Chains A and B, each alone.
Chain A
Amino acid sequence: MGPNDSGPAGSPSAGAPARPPLPGGRFAARGSLTGTLAKIALLGLFTALGVWAVLPLYVAGNWWGIALAVAVVALVYWVYLSGRSVPAKYLVPGVLLLMAFQIFPVLYTMSTSLTNMSDGHRGTKEQAIASIEAYSVVSADSAEEYTLTVATTGDPETGELVFLLTDADGRAYAGDSEGLEGLTGASVDDAGKVTDAFGYTVLSPNEVNARSDELQEFAVPTGDGAGIRSSGLNSAFEGSALRVYDAGCDCIEDSETGTVYTADDERGAFYSEDGERLAQGWQVGVGFDNFLRFLVNPTFASAFFGTLVWNIAFAASVTFLVFVVGLAVALTLHTPRLRGKTAYRILVVLPYAMSSLAMYLLWRDMFNADFGLFNRMLGTDVDWLGDAWAARGAVVLANVWLGYPYMFLVATGALQAIPRELSQAARLDGAGPWQAFRHVTLPLLMVAMAPILIATFAFNFNNFNAVWLLTRGGPFPAEGTMSGGATDLLITYTYRLAFSEATAQYGYAAAMSVMIFLIVSVMSVVSLSRSKALQEVDR
């Protein structure tokens, strides 16, 4: 036990005098030599980090980024050198990380939810036009041929594509989405391939293959609607674009078919008169359309509300069952003398100590219809994860197995805090064991357990692993995955929208995230207002 078991944790000592104000002022002014040295070393390290952060921003000419980095470094220096604000010294590291990687992403999610951002709607209108024109480049008869080496600036997987080209006379060029420039100082082999060029990363054939989709749409503009496109991995040709943008009518005309595609700035794409749309669009604000879509549109609304109902049912039933099982086990072991108590405790807590990620996968395989343990042991032929209700039952069962040991530990602790005399007194007054438990022990227990139950519910409401690793949200109805699977939680549905469908729908997925946020907020506000947690703030 720790040094703090003089009273129940957190109970204010009765009659304690009011706290004196506690600014940094009463602390000694100067620390030890070690402390000072550590401070200098850490500040030096942080400065180095700042310089490292500024360099690429400088190269990219991102002045706002540089200003931000400088401001953060200056803030840190001020906090740790001025000695004026002691609390800030303790809060700054965590708060900086919190702002950068939690609060900023949350705000970014909210702004993304108001756009149509998705595959095909990622960039600006200019990028969409460049991509459309480049994609329609066809070889002219007397086209110039180049030997092509695909390279990037920076990382092979995410860096911007660059074509390193050599023409028939052996001159080398570098072309990116901005245009073509001469390239000096590159090493070129006999076949005309560039093997090394300063500032560029030459891609291996495998790395090129990994980005073949992008390569398809990539062309180096050479002016007047002409551009250089790749044909295969090793050669490129210059040709002219079939589809050319005309700023006058804000439209794109296809010179082969004569179709005119007019820009629709509300939907972020070019549409022809008969409603045909060009694949490459751009990102535009759509207001609350994403939200309206799953609140009003019949297909999406039924998927959304169906998922929401199951999501609540899932979280509630798992919370209830782990509470009942955990409490039952805790009550069974809550007796002064029981042979093998320690052994029972260890066995019962075992699921909690196993890796839950691996255990979810294990349960999925135990439920496997063809080879799984359950069908083989029970001699049944049930498609556990293929039938809607069997899958729901399986998901709940696996989560009860993983979740009850925690409840058992918490309930044991809470039971030990309740004086045994209380239920004994009730028994003397003629209450049966059940009555004594129901009317004396349980109400006292609930005081301690209520916050834990709320937390468990909130956790399971967004328990991504619980569903994704077992069923991935399935089984799915015949209409496809967009209408939501039988075990889908909102969070797994969102994840699939953004990362697992053929076309990623970031804007729509972000709107779902915001909806989950709102739902959880409402539930938390209701439960928090009924608990005493907030009173602690003023203590």
Chain B
Amino acid sequence: MTAETADTAVRPVYRPTAGSRFALWARRQGWRHAVMLVVAAFALFPVLFVVSAALNPVGTLSSSQLWPTGASLDNARDLFQNTPFRAWYTNSLFFAVANASATVLLSALAAYAFSRMRFKGRRVGLVGLLVIQMFPQFLAIVAIYLMFSNLGELYPAIGFDTRWGLLLVYLGGALSINTWLMKGFFDTVPKELDESAQMDGATHAQVFFRIMLPLVTPVLAIVALLVFINTINEFLLASVFLRDTGAQTLGLGLYQLVDSQRNANFGMFAVGAIMLSLPTLAVFWFLQRYISEGLTSGAVKG
């Protein structure tokens, strides 16, 4: 800036013409708008297409256009009446909410121990958590399948086609890289805070629930968000576990809907796809202030 001011002082007074002002704007800002419009179009067109297909009165894939050609709720009515949509949706939300809340609790408990306490096996535990990440749960799908075909005979309540069985499997992955993320965040909370609480006579449980948890809300929110999204989009384990149509999640239901009738059911699928995205969008909306903070606190580490 200083260099430019020095220049103008020597030259005669400079009056920018409309053309040169535009050139300056284009060089500074205009290209940004151009790039962003292209990217936004790329980001938006599948979303636009799915909305248009959901409103499409004909309800087939071949008749769906990028831009809505009509507005009808026929597809929604078909989906709600001709498929077990309500059961699918309830199942999806059950798994996502139950898994997210239980994972946050279990992970936070473990992260608290790893962050604030020194005990035998702490190092092994932390490294072990990293190592087990290399073997994602779904790689053991064959073993989980065989295991639950036996377990289901003993305990029908957690066998295939039940909610509790699949939820248990999901919870087996509760302690994961998320625990590391949380531990890193817990480490940034000054020790003096919980130490002074202990001086005042708080138990370790009170320190955890009353002091720590309120201070680490951002990371709890971000882990809840990630687990919620992952669960609602989980396909592999769910497809092996839930075979009965009524027991399935919305994702599985949609998969079968377009698998059997790729063209005709597309309108119903589009409505379902929007319904499946709504909870994710809502979670994003409510947690947006934590998102960049939480994601980057994970990013800047390491």
- Taking Cβ atoms with an 8 Å cutoff, the residues of A that contact B are 1-4, 8-10, 19, 21-24, 26-32, 35, 53, 56-57, 60, 62, 65, 85-87, 89-91, 93-95, 97-98, 100-106, 108-109, 112, 117, 154-155, 157-160, 325, 328-329, 332-333, 335, 338-340, 344, 347-359, 361-366, 368, 370-373, 376-377, 401, 405-406, 409-410, 412-414, 417, 448-452, 455, 462, 464-465, 468-469, 491, 494-495, 498-499, 506, 509-510, 513, 516-517, 520-521, 524, 528, 531-534, 536-539
Contact A370 B62 (CB under 8 A): yes
Contact across chains for A450 and B302 when beta carbons are under 8 A apart: yes
Per-position contact with A for B114-144: 1 when CB-CB < 8 Å, else 0?
Answer: 0011110011011100111111111111111
Q: Is the CB of A10 within 8 A of B301?
A: yes
Taking CB atoms, residues of chain A closer than 8 Å to B292 are 409, 412-413
Residues of A within 8 Å of B122, CB to CB, are: 87
A332 touches B155 (CB 8 A): no
Q: Tell me if B93 counts as interface (CB < 8 A to partner A).
A: no
**CB-defined contacts of A28 to chain B, threshold 8 Å:** 198, 201-203
Q: How far is the CA of A1 from the CA of B221 in the complex (A)?
A: 13
Chain B contacts for A464, CB-based, 8 A: 138, 235-236
Residue B175, interface by CB 8 Å = yes
Q: How many residue pairs bridge A and B at CB < 8 Å?
A: 368
Q: How far is the CA of A57 from the CA of B155 in the complex (A)?
A: 9
- C-alpha spacing A155/B152, complex, angstroms: 8
Q: A377-B66, A465-B233 are in contact. Are A1 and B293 (CB under 8 A)?
A: yes
Asked if A108 contacts B32 (CB within 8 A), the reply is: no
B85 at the interface (CB under 8 A from A): no
Which single residue of chain A is at the shortest CB-CB distance from B172? A101
* CA gap between A410 and B297 in the complex, in Å: 9
Q: Which label, helix, strand, loop or mixed, suits the secondary structure of the A interface?
A: helix
14 extra interchain contacts, Cβ-Cβ under 8 A, other than A158-B159, A352-B284, A465-B235?
A: A22-B116, A29-B203, A31-B203, A85-B119, A105-B140, A109-B139, A117-B146, A332-B32, A361-B254, A365-B262, A462-B136, A499-B240, A510-B143, A539-B187
**Are B218 and A2 in contact, CB atoms less than 8 angstroms apart?**
yes
Q: Are B153 and A498 in contact (CB under 8 A)?
A: no
Instruction: Enumerate chain A residues within 8 angstroms of B217, measured Cβ to Cβ.
Output: 2
B135 & A97 in contact (Cβ 8 Å cutoff): no
Contacts of B40 in A (CB 8 A): 344, 347-348
CB distance from A319 to the nearest CB of B (A): 15
Minimum Cβ distance to chain B for residue A383 (Å): 14
What are 17 residue pairs bridging A and B, where the CB atoms are less than 8 Å apart in the complex?
A: A3-B215, A28-B198, A56-B155, A60-B154, A87-B113, A95-B110, A98-B173, A106-B132, A329-B39, A353-B284, A354-B277, A355-B232, A357-B255, A366-B46, A413-B300, A506-B146, A509-B142
Q: A91-B110, A338-B29, A370-B62 are in contact. Are A452 and B299 (CB under 8 A)?
A: yes
Is B169 among interface residues, defined by CB-CB distance under 8 A?
Answer: yes
Tell me, in angstroms, the Cα distance from A405 to B44 when the chains sit together.
12
State the CA gap A535–B156 with chains docked (Å).
45
